[in-house]
Copies of this chain bind each other. A is one copy, B any other.
Amino acid sequence: MTPPAVILSQPQMGENVGAAARAMKNFGLTELVLIAPKMEWPNDKAQMLASGSGDILEAAKIFPTAVDALAPYQLVLATTARGRDVVKDIHTPEAGARRLRAASNEGVRTAILFGGERAGLDNDEMSLADAVITIPTADFWSLNLGQAVLLLGYEWLKSADNTPAVRTRPSIAKPASREELVGLFEHLEKELDAAEFLFPPAKRETMVRNIRAMIMRSRLSDQEVRTIRGMIVALVRNKYRGNK
């Protein structure tokens, strides 16, 4: 499975190409292609900004035209700023990344095409793309080249990432058993009764229920239950000392 190539059309600033390479490295993209770069190449500023992803810059391929650069690819998605009038399907970055992933998994050679800093992609370039990806931004704002590559790289990695949306606590901790929790409840309630905190009796049941709910919500580990019971013991001991 080959990840999508990142193809930058007529980039003007070395910094942006360097930032793009760094962004690629972060998310497992490796193939960088430049169409008619409007800068010296190799480029010192690109090297500086690439910090650790210089190998991507060194392997970058340069072509004079979009037709040459795009020749080997079978699925090309072009990124454009919002609202551009195109006669192609427009994907969110997430949907675009999923489409690229599905194609790559089937052995299709894929690429993401980014326009230059000023002018974006011209109509000839757009006509070579299968479809378009538009990154949502706040009104009147648009992303620079490095930022756009970063977000597409991020969505590319995400498209194969099975990390659950929320992982609760590190797996090393053992959730407390009901027995341990009930032990804690009863220990705490015994001391609160002794301290006349659960008062008046008519409200005791509700107060106990609320305290138990509060404790349940924090999904304690067995170790944490022991820690809290130790705290209760210590607090009670100090109280008696204070009363001496």
A residues near B (Cβ < 8 Å) are 23, 25-28, 85-92, 94-95, 135-138, 141-143, 147, 150-151, 154, 157-158, 161, 163-170, 172-173
Contacts and interface: CB of A to CB of B under 8 A. Distances in A.
A136 B163 contact: yes
A129 B164 CA distance: 20
A139 to B, nearest CB: 8
Contacts of A158: 94, 136
B173 A87 contact: yes
B28 A165 contact: no
Nearest to A88: B169
Nearest to A131: B166
Contacts of A25: 138, 141
13 contacts: A26-B141, A27-B138, A27-B141, A87-B169, A89-B167, A89-B168, A90-B167, A92-B161, A136-B163, A137-B157, A147-B150, A150-B150, A150-B151
A55 B88 CA distance: 37
Contacts of A26: 137-138, 141-143, 147
A91 B27 contact: no
B23 A86 contact: no
Given A25-B141, A137-B27, A90 B166 contact: yes
A233 B229 CA distance: 89
A95 B166 contact: yes
B141 A157 contact: no
A28 B85 CA distance: 24
Given A141-B25, A157-B136, A165 B89 contact: no
A138 B142 CA distance: 26
A83 to B, nearest CB: 10
